[in-house]
Amino acid sequence: MGARSQLWVAFEALSNSDNDSAISAVRCGGAKQHLLIKGTYGEPILLLATEPRKTLRAPIKLKHVSVGFELLFEVTDTASSEVTSGTYCKFICEPTSVSLHPYFVEMLAATASIHGTTLSQLDADEAVDAMLELFRQLERPAKTTIVGLWGELLIIYAAKNATDFINAWHIAGTDTYDFAFSDGRLEVKTTERSMREHDFALAQVRGGRTGDAIASLLLSRSAAGISVLGLANAIAQRVPPVQQQKLWTLVLAELGQDAEAADELIFDLEAALNNLRIIPAARIPAPQINGDDKAFISNVRFRANIALVCDTTVDSADAFLRR
């Protein structure tokens, strides 16, 4: 399944731009005032329309991105040849980070789409600072494995209401459960092994809530499969801009330094959906701690083979994903 979205196709079709003008752009935002353009070397550039600044701010440069403030830019309409100019905050992706450009395009466009008006200095600074913090995380170790993230995205992809599942998706990688709803929580366990053997935290399966569940996924690699980027693109097409931004924020934050290699892992989507099992967390076999020892023992982790449990439990995957 292709990994490229309609947005990426539109971006690739753009003409290259120079430092202060462009002849084509993908327009974003409620009034289409923000511009996604292609730079001199094919790199993604986001122009956030801004009001004049009251205080100057120096340009910022990170490993993968750089930002300039209050820059004048001209855009030529290819149909009417009309030239418009405006003041923008210019967010530039490094030309050498080619494997990351599809992620950048999606993230930059989603960010622009949630800002429906020309940004004040305060709003522009908040938007830029949030994106800079995100891209700083691309210089840090991954918070989860690519396999684990693929499994979480599959759950969102398979859900009837992807928006609700994105809203319930964890904010921090240290959260006990991957998805937290008001009436239950879901932890996703993904493996490339041939058996349903997963690592658990005792707190995940003995949380004391009847609505808690475990999703078990067996993945198989396939040249005709889909990557993390492909799954995220498929999900993004079904949800509003706010959820798109959260989706791409979490994808990039979870991948960290592994983002540049994420497209190398491609899994069979149909096989994964067929092998998906969701079972009550309380059914997972787990070690027991005697009452006298509970005050002294914490953070218990263990590995369990849950194949028999999955075979003897009525599969609740459809019911959970229809929530």
| Residue burial 135-155, b: 16+ Cβ < 10 Å; e: rest | bebbeeebbbebebbbbbbbb
Mean of all residue pLDDT scores within the chain: 91
- Give the confidence band of 1 by pLDDT, cuts at 50, 70, 90: very low
Closest CA to 323 of 185, 205, 203: 185
Question: Is-contact 217 188, C-beta < 8 A?
Answer: yes
Q: Which residues pair with 304 in a beta bridge?
A: 198
DSSP assignment of 289-319 equals --GGGTTT--S-EEEEE-HHHHHHS---HHH
Parse the chain into domains and list their residue ranges.
Answer: 6-139, 146-321
pLDDT 10s digits, 122-154: 999 999 999 999 999 898 888 889 999 999 999
Percent of the chain with pLDDT over 90: 71
Predicted confidence (pLDDT) at residue 97 exceeds the cutoff of 80: yes
Closest CA to 302 of 201, 174, 176, 195: 201
d(C-alpha 12, C-alpha 317), whole Å: 38
Predicted confidence (pLDDT) at residue 3 exceeds the cutoff of 60: no
Instruction: Using CB atoms within 10 Å of the CB of residue 216, give its burial: 0 to 12 exposed, 13 to 18 middle, 19+ buried.
Output: buried
pLDDT 10s digits, 40-89: 999 999 999 999 999 999 999 999 999 999 999 888 877 777 888 889 99
Q: Which two tokens stand for residue 93?
A: 């992706």
d(C-alpha 173, C-alpha 22), whole Å: 40
| Residue, of 174 and 98, whose pLDDT is higher | 98
